[in-house]
Amino acid sequence: MNKLAMALLMACLLSACGGAKSENEGVQDRLNTKELKYFTNGKRLYTQYCNNCHMDNGEGLGRLIPPLAKSDYLMEDLGRAAKIMKYGQRGPIAVNGTEYNQPMPANPQLTPLEILQILAYVSNTWGNEADIMTLPEVQDALKEQ
């Protein structure tokens, strides 16, 4: 009887997991070990610093906060995204054809490494796929003002 109950339990668990795709499917195939560490740390930092406005799913908040998920604005210039995270942003921007004009506050306490890690996460989740920036690339981007 125990074997039958165990078999039924396993069948239920497997069927519940089957078919559902992860939002980060393929990340492990695309990123090396170091990049995966950045990605994982970036998710934690995203939850701490970005999640309140840009949401768990990266879809932002209506017409108030722009999405990061499948965002043309994010993906076309990750160096610019690094500067926005560190120094904030004011003025209108267009994301996926929609204009947003809500200021984004600066996060001056974020280190270049933390910004790199957040970028590794947001640029490789929710359907986004990008090469991971290097720390010197992030540092250089942050120097440009």
In this prediction, residues 108-133 reach a mean pLDDT of 97
DSSP H helical segments within the chain, as ranges? 2-17, 27-30, 33-49, 51-54, 72-76, 78-87, 112-122, 135-143
Q: Is the pLDDT of residue 123 over 90?
A: yes
Q: Is the pLDDT of residue 74 over 80?
A: yes
In this prediction, residues 63-87 reach a mean pLDDT of 97
Instruction: Give the global pTM.
Output: 0.82
Per-residue model confidence (pLDDT) at position 102: 95
If one compares 92 and 5, the residue with the highest pLDDT of the two is 92
Q: What does pLDDT average to over the chain?
A: 87
In this prediction, residues 69-92 reach a mean pLDDT of 97
pLDDT, tens digit, 9 for 90 and up, residues 3-58: 544 444 444 444 444 444 455 667 888 888 999 999 999 999 999 999 999 999 99
> How many Å separate Cα 32 from the centre of its chain?
17
Per-residue model confidence (pLDDT) at position 75: 97
Q: Which residues of 1-38 are buried (b: 16+ CB within 10 A; e: fewer)?
A: eeeeeeeeeeeeeeeeeeeeeeeeeebeeebeeebbeb
Per-residue model confidence (pLDDT) at position 3: 57
Q: Is the pLDDT of residue 78 over 90?
A: yes
